[in-house]
Amino acid sequence: MKREHVLPDPADTHALGEALAALARPGDLLVLVGPLGAGKTALTQGIGAGLGVREPVTSPTFVIARVHRGGRIPLVHVDAYRLGGHADVDDLDLDASTDESVTVVEWGQGLVEQLADEHLEVRLDRRDDDVRTALLVPHGPGWAARLDGG
């Protein structure tokens, strides 16, 4: 899979999420980085669709975390925007569900990487022409191999 993506519309962002879901395994951690409106929730919706989640995947901004079951692998969707630090992450007890789930964390850079031995960082951005971009940055050999087709 390419590491850099140009995403002209939300359907492209959704499709990238579905492609990432096809590579996903239980225990995976994806950390989504980017400004407001960059497509973090749209990407997560695509991941949910690719995992077979039937219920709507919406931003968990006010509930902090949602668990979606019923798909190939459970999806834990976290919005870390309002978390103050590592203690708040620990209070969520996310590591209790990370082994059997795909955990996607919006705004989690610098807060959640310790939840897994390796993770995929997805850097999303929104250009001036309203086109989104995504850069996939693997942290660890497992994600690097999967992205490279191994």
CATH (domain of 29):
3.40.50.300
Query: What is the pTM (predicted TM-score) of this model?
Result: 0.87
The tally of domains found in the chain comes to 1
Q: What is the pLDDT of residues 101-141, one digit of tens each?
A: 999 998 777 777 777 889 999 999 999 999 999 999 999 99
Q: Which helix (H) or strand (E) holds 123?
A: strand 119-126
Residue that is written with structure tokens 């999420």 in the block: 17
Tell me, yes or no, whether 149 lies in a domain.
no
Tell me, yes or no, whether 122 lies in a domain.
yes
Q: What is the pLDDT of residues 2-22, one digit of tens each?
A: 999 999 999 999 999 999 999
Order of strands, sheet of 75-79, starting from the edge strand that comes earlier in the sequence: 4-7, 132-139, 119-126, 29-33, 102-106, 75-79, 65-68
What angle do the packed helices 10-23 and 40-51 form, to 10 degrees?
Answer: 50
Tell me, yes or no, whether 57 lies in a domain.
yes
Mapped onto helix, strand or coil, the DSSP state of residue 5 is strand
Contacts of 53 (CB under 8 A, 6+ apart): 68, 70, 71, 75
Domain that residue 25 falls in: 4-144
Q: What is the mean pLDDT of residues 40-54?
A: 95
